[in-house]
Amino acid sequence: MNFLRNTIAVLLGLAIAGLIITLGIRAFPQWVTFEAFAPFEHWQRFLYSMKDDKAFFGFLLFISGLGTTIGGVATAIIVKYAKVAYAILIGFIMLFIAMLDIIIYPYHPTFYKISIFLTFFPFSWVGGKIVEVMYERNKKKRIAEKMNKPQ
């Protein structure tokens, strides 16, 4: 049963991270030059048009970090054990997808290619640590309440 729960948690975390990144890109209409939402059909042309826009790729790094953090939090909340490890798994899968994007579409600037390694793992780790710290605080609070409770 834990396998199914963990699989659903990872898929949900990836979906949340992907949704946040996609909505982040779509938030600025001056960047999106196509009407229909078909990200894979227009992505190559879009990246080519943005290849000199450092602000876009900087924002893409920021929104990727934010999405990976929130996806890591969602995953860590759902899994029962090894919360940080599963959150880092989200970062690893997102890094793998980003590397495929860089290999398939070569229009990314060099600073972006280097920075994605410094974005996905640390931010997903932070997402897992947020949940781990919250759970530890709640656990300590419950123990303290039990100790102070009159018998």
pLDDT beneath 70: ranges in the chain: 29, 31-41, 150-151
Number of domains in the chain: 1
pLDDT in tens, 20-44: 998 888 787 676 665 655 656 677 7
* Reported pTM: 0.85
Q: How many helices (H) and strands (E) does the chain have?
A: 5, 0
The reported pLDDT for the residue numbered 49 is: 76
pLDDT of residue 88: 94
Helix, strand, or coil here: 80? coil
Tell me the residue range of the domain where 50 lies.
Answer: 2-148
Query: Contact, 74 vs 114, CB < 8 A?
Result: no
